[in-house]
Amino acid sequence: MFNASLKQLSIQLADKKVSSVELTKEYLQRIKTLNAEYNAFITVNEELSLAQAQLADQMIASGQAGTLTGIPIAQKDIFCAKDWLTTCGSKMLSNFVSPYDAGVIERFNQAGAVNIGKTNMDEFAMGSSNETSFYGPVRNPWDVAAVPGGSSGGSASAVAARLAPAATGTDTGGSIRQPAALCGISGIKPTYGLVSRYGMIAFASSLDQGGPMAKSAEDLALMLNVMTGFDARDSTSLQRDEEDYARDLEKPLLGLRIGLPKEYFAKGMSPDVERAVEQALNEYRQLGAETVEVSLPNSSLSIPVYYVLAPAEASSNLSRFDGVRYGYRAKSYGDLNDMYRKSRTQGFGAEVKRRILIGTYVLSHGYYDAYYIKAQKVRRLIAQDFADAFKQCDIMMGPTSPTVAFDIGEKSSDPIQMYLSDIYTSAASLAGLPGMSIPVGFGDKNRPVGLHIIGNYFTEAKMLNAAHQYQQATDWHQQAPGNIGI
Amino acid sequence: MQWEIVIGIETHAQLSTQSKIFSGSSTAYGAQPNTQANAVDLALPGVLPVLNKGAVERAIKLGLSVGAKINSPSIFARKNYFYPDLPKGYQISQFELPVVEGGHITIQVNDTEKSVRLTRAHLEEDAGKSLHEDFHGMSGIDLNRAGTPLLEIVTEPDMRSSAEAVAYAKKLHSLVRWIGICDGNMQEGSFRCDANVSVRAKGSDILGTRCEIKNLNSFRFLEKAIDFEARRQIEILEDGGTIRQETRLYDANKDETRTMRSKEDANDYRYFPDPDLLPLEISDNWINQLKDTLPELPEARRSRYISDFGLSDYDAAVLTGSREIADFFEETSAQLPNQAKLCANWVMGEISGRLNKEAIEITACPINPVHLAALLTRINDGTVSGKAAKTVFECMWNGELEQNVDAIIDAKGLKQISDDGAIEKLVDEVLAANAQQVEDYRNGKQKAFNSLVGQVMKATKGKANPAQVNTMLKNKLDS
């Protein structure tokens, strides 16, 4: 059951082989048993989950079920969910019970899905290893000494450890794709604007995008069908016709032109990752696709640009956490400024403070033009690189992360090394393009390797098609860590 | 040395939308604290702003009314600073590309006309309110006002006296109400001015160091604050000192301005484009639609009153001081062709005077234009004298006899005596009884004539037509 696909679960629920309440209890029991080991969940609330499961069973009984009705879904703790503690991985929000549902949560609720718990994450989604969480590091189910990646590390770990059939994540510079790669699961960040940001706690508004994390491309498609859609409460949400992201899954790949950005295959990628990626590309060639070399000449600038723009937006987005209206407030303080200072000093962790400082600096009078404006200009060049390259190919592929999962503590004292973990993923984020990661084998220490797939705007169905066809021909995505008790 | 005062004004006009600029909360004034603040106004984690189209429409209308350029796109920017009544830690405003750019407003001071150039007008949200009383040493925060739409209208430093500044502020105040974008209620803070004041040697073309006086919420305070501030700066300069650039507050009780913060303490607001809001694009089509909804503007009406009605510059300016007054005047004069001057005198005189005295708006005037026109018709056809008409006016104001002019004239016996025979009889009686004055008049004493007219009028209890009495007396005396 715990290895079942969403489609299989849906059929079992529809056929009354299992009820949503039973399924939910099974997963709650697994979480109870195993979460201490992986620390994938910050909050589990049996009462709320089971109440939703009962509703789902009623929907199924009355013939109103959709594909995800009754299926437990883990929600990244960045999404506000009514009556749920919503912490964003921070002490700052360690007492914040949301009075409202995020757009994404609403859509899952309407679909009859069950919120199985709120997953751990890097504090305010700032991190690539899930070590910055106030709730402690998340562990990689493939090797508990390793990080799961971040910032959606809790969701990745939960899916890999089969603590949830699927999960939501958010991706600002790679936060869905990199942990998916490091945990050996599939994850997709859709085109910017497809998933509502309403109620998704903002890190860098122009980059943040929610997306699903699951065991297969097919599951991702079913998740996307629920998650995407216009939301008038988000001014950057796109008004588009509804589409079925699963519609092209079965198309053959014959003639698919896969662009291989030469900059992504240059130095920086570790040999074990390169081996797995090359093997995957060979598989694609055998499936009838052709590969062409393309170039993204400004790609080396994507990390510096990202680390100007994302902190700039974050420094402003996080100003609302001031201890005045909700969230953490220092126990004792003098005047107003002292209250701000102490509450924010005590409420935020080191990485969040570092980014607030960087962001405040680059927006300051006298530096704004040299950093923020310059970075915006380069951002446009990076987007233009992709536009040019997509003239020669249908989709692009490369490594998701330069290395397999590193050890907990290995990079936490070296922010630059940590930031380079997103070297392949941040460019697509800056361009607003969809990107995904699928498991394509194992590297050093038998840790998973992810293949990065970048699509042109709104070509999620094509990317999922390419991923699904690969997953029909291989079984990397079906492999589960050995010690998760299944 | 001769000094010149240089003034620029920034006005925050609260736009008359039902809901806030970025959320669906009500903007109604006076509700219980924090009852009109939803998740967006409270800046809960994850909430996002959605621009209110009505606020943009009002900004465009202002732009069209002052001959400004409507920018498309314009950009919303975040102005970052910490304050407890600023929930997000930033205010959404416009910085580099405001929605309205340029334009001008014409003012009249001492019979001179002057054009005040506008720099820009931009959309932004208001902050909440900090309440420092009644909380036992703590401060209370009321976020009802947070997110209220404001249009900040900024002038060039084109004004040279507090009188010009007040004339500008009044003109703008009248305009925003005229085009229906702001209720102009200064007591509730719907229209408040900041004055940038500097002084320089007369003839110099270099601007002096300026001080900004914040939140002047009456025309009188604007005038007094500028006068005080200019005097203060001149005194410092004459004593050999220099002006420190700073923000000052006007204390109405002490009639003085004092330092609020100096330039050195000024925040670095770290403006940057708000990534939650897309660039605001305004189509020509939308602009044209709004153009069609604009009423005839005060300047156009003023010219028309002068050219079509033959009114003086002064009368035309006063009548177009507000759209309601102008409408009242036009509705009155529509009933009385070719009597615009009479209508103007009554609207500006009796009506305005009485409204002022009772402190009510013309929209609440108990006498409507049709009733006023009925009364003026009776003056015009000689039924009542101007003096008697004021008595009728009084009765109408008080709602007597259903404001029926003729019924009031009859009931009060105010009909003017125009019967030649009746008047001649009285004239003869007066002449007979006042031989001395008749003698004086014939010896060239004009005063004696006035006295005789007065006596005839007195004998008719004021009901005779004075012009008629005049003519008749003159004829009899000179014959």
Average pLDDT of span B465-476: 82
Name the nearest CA neighbour of B106 among B152, B70, B67: B67
Taking the Cβ of residue B20 and every Cβ of chain A, the question of whether any pair is shorter than 8 Å is answered with no
Residue-wise pLDDT tens digits, A129-184: 999 999 999 999 999 999 999 999 999 999 999 999 999 999 999 999 999 999 99
Across B386-395, B417-426, B440-449, the highest mean pLDDT is recorded for: B386-395
Residue-wise pLDDT tens digits, A340-389: 999 999 999 999 999 999 999 999 999 999 999 999 999 999 999 999 99
Can you tell me the distance from the alpha carbon of A97 to that of B275, in angstroms, rounded to the nearest whole number?
26
Taking the Cβ of residue B263 and every Cβ of chain A, the question of whether any pair is shorter than 8 Å is answered with no
Helix (H) or strand (E) holding A431: helix A426-431
Number of A–B residue contacts, CB under 8 Å? 97
B17 with B161, same domain: the answer is: yes
Residue-wise pLDDT tens digits, A428-481: 999 999 999 999 999 999 999 999 999 999 999 999 999 999 999 999 999 999
Can you tell me the distance from the alpha carbon of A412 to that of A351, in angstroms, rounded to the nearest whole number?
10
Average pLDDT of span B373-387: 88
Q: Which chain B residue lies closest to A340 (C-alpha atoms)?
A: B82
How confident is the model at residue B330, as a pLDDT? 94
Residue B351 lies in a domain: no
Residue-wise pLDDT tens digits, B351-374: 999 999 999 989 999 999 999 999
CATH of the domain at B451: 1.10.10.410
Q: Is A151 a catalytic residue?
A: yes
At A351, the amino acid letter reads E
Q: Which is catalytic among the residues A10, A151, A302, A426?
A: A151
Residue B370 lies in a domain: no
Can you tell me the distance from the alpha carbon of B181 to that of B183, in angstroms, rounded to the nearest whole number?
7
Q: Is A175 a catalytic residue?
A: yes
Residue B461 lies in a domain: yes
Contact B276 A201 (CB under 8 A): no
Tokens of A137: 């590091």
Can you tell me the distance from the alpha carbon of B332 to that of B325, in angstroms, rounded to the nearest whole number?
11
Name the nearest CA neighbour of A1 among B394, A9, B450, B422: A9
Contact A319 B80 (CB under 8 A): yes
Average pLDDT of span B150-169: 97
The partner residue sitting opposite A233, judged by closest CB among B43, B50, B271, is B50
Tokens of B134: 């009644």
The distance of A271 to chain B (nearest Cα, Å) reads 39
Contact A93 B89 (CB under 8 A): no
Contact A98 B47 (CB under 8 A): no
The distance of B272 to chain A (nearest Cα, Å) reads 7
Q: Which chain B residue lies closest to A124 (C-alpha atoms)?
A: B45
Write the DSSP symbol of residue A372.
I
Residues paired with residue A454 on neighbouring β-strands, in sequence order: A396, A435
State the Cα torsion B108-B114-B115-B121 to the nearest 10°. Answer: -50
Taking the Cβ of residue B89 and every Cβ of chain A, the question of whether any pair is shorter than 8 Å is answered with yes
The partner residue sitting opposite A364, judged by closest CB among B50, B268, B278, is B268
Provide, as residue numbers in chain B, all residues whose Cβ is less than 8 Å from the Cβ of A430. Answer: none
Find which of B23, B47, B264 to mutate to test the A interface (most A CBs within 10 Å of its CB): B47
The distance of A131 to chain B (nearest Cα, Å) reads 22
Chain B, 180 to 209: residues with Cβ < 8 Å from chain A are none
Q: Hey, is A418 helix, strand or coil? A: helix
User: What's the total number of domains in chain B?
Assistant: 2
Provide, as residue numbers in chain B, all residues whose Cβ is less than 8 Å from the Cβ of A197. Answer: 46, 48
Q: Which is catalytic among the residues A175, A196, A237, A426?
A: A175
Provide, as residue numbers in chain A, all residues whose Cβ is less than 8 Å from the Cβ of B44. Answer: 80, 98-100, 326
Q: Are A205 and B275 in contact (CB under 8 A)?
A: yes
Domain range for B459 is: 420-478
CA distances from B474 to A158, A349, B343, B471 (A): 113, 102, 31, 5
Taking the Cβ of residue A365 and every Cβ of chain B, the question of whether any pair is shorter than 8 Å is answered with yes
Q: Is the pLDDT confidence value at A483 over 90? A: no
Which of the residue ranges A211-215, B91-95, B205-209, B425-429 would you say has the lowest mean pLDDT? Answer: B425-429
The partner residue sitting opposite B276, judged by closest CB among A235, A327, A360, is A235
Residue B424 lies in a domain: yes
Contact A322 B89 (CB under 8 A): yes
Residue-wise pLDDT tens digits, B396-428: 999 888 888 899 988 888 887 777 777 888 888
Can you tell me the distance from the alpha carbon of A250 to that of A438, in angstroms, rounded to the nearest whole number?
17
Provide, as residue numbers in chain B, all residues whose Cβ is less than 8 Å from the Cβ of A327. Answer: 45
B63 with B208, same domain: the answer is: yes
Could you tell me the strand order of the sheet in which B90-94 lies? B90-94, B76-80, B272-273
Given B271, B286, B301, the domain boundary residue is: B286
Find which of B50, B81, B82, B270 to mutate to test the A interface (most A CBs within 10 Å of its CB): B270
Average pLDDT of span B40-48: 98
ipTM (interface pTM): 0.96
| pTM (predicted TM-score) | 0.91
Q: Is the pLDDT confidence value at A425 over 80? A: yes
Find which of A316, A336, A342 to mutate to test the B interface (most B CBs within 10 Å of its CB): A316
Contact B87 A324 (CB under 8 A): yes
Can you tell me the distance from the alpha carbon of A308 to that of A342, in angstroms, rounded to the nearest whole number?
26
Residue-wise pLDDT tens digits, B18-31: 999 999 999 998 89
Provide, as residue numbers in chain A, all residues whose Cβ is less than 8 Å from the Cβ of B48. Answer: 197-198, 202, 233-235
Residue B159 lies in a domain: yes
Burial class (CB in 10 A: 0-12, 13-18, 19+), A416: exposed
Q: Which chain B residue lies closest to A314 (C-alpha atoms)?
A: B275
The distance of B89 to chain A (nearest Cα, Å) reads 5
Contact B270 A316 (CB under 8 A): yes
Residue B450 lies in a domain: yes
Given B233, B264, B286, the domain boundary residue is: B286
The distance of B256 to chain A (nearest Cα, Å) reads 28
Can you tell me the distance from the alpha carbon of B382 to that of B387, in angstroms, rounded to the nearest whole number?
12
- Three-state SS annotation for chain B: CCEEEEEEEEEEEECCCCECCCCCCECCCCCCCCCCCCCCCCCCCCCCCCCCHHHHHHHHHHHHHCCCEECCCECEEEEECCCCCCCCCEEEEECCCCCEECCEEEEEECCEEEEEEEEEEEEEECCCEEECCCCCCCCEEECCCCCCEEEEEEECCCECCHHHHHHHHHHHHHHHHHCCCCCCCCCCCCEEEEEEEEEEECCCCCCCCCEEEEEECCHHHHHHHHHHHHHHHHHHHHCCCCCCCEEEEEECCCCEEEEEEEHHHCCCCCCEECCCCCCECCCHHHHHHHHHHCCCCHHHHHHHHHHHHCCCHHHHHHHCCCHHHHHHHHHHHHHCCCCHHHHHHHHHHHHHHHHHHHCCCHHHCCCCHHHHHHHHHHHHCCCCCHHHHHHHHHHHHCCHHHHCHHHHHHHHCCCCECCHHHHHHHHHHHHHHCHHHHHHHHCCCHHHHHHHHHHHHHHCCCCECHHHHHHHHHHHHHC
Given B253, B269, B286, the domain boundary residue is: B286
Contact B46 A313 (CB under 8 A): no
How confident is the model at residue B459, as a pLDDT? 81
C-alpha torsion sign, points A419, A424, A428, A430: positive
The distance of A363 to chain B (nearest Cα, Å) reads 5
Taking the Cβ of residue B80 and every Cβ of chain A, the question of whether any pair is shorter than 8 Å is answered with yes
B428 with B279, same domain: the answer is: no
Write the DSSP symbol of residue A405.
P
How confident is the model at residue A216, as a pLDDT? 98
Tokens of A448: 């998973």
Residue B321 lies in a domain: no
Helix (H) or strand (E) holding A186: strand A186-189
Residue B226 lies in a domain: yes
How confident is the model at residue B138, as a pLDDT? 84
Provide, as residue numbers in chain B, all residues whose Cβ is less than 8 Å from the Cβ of A363. Answer: 80, 270-272
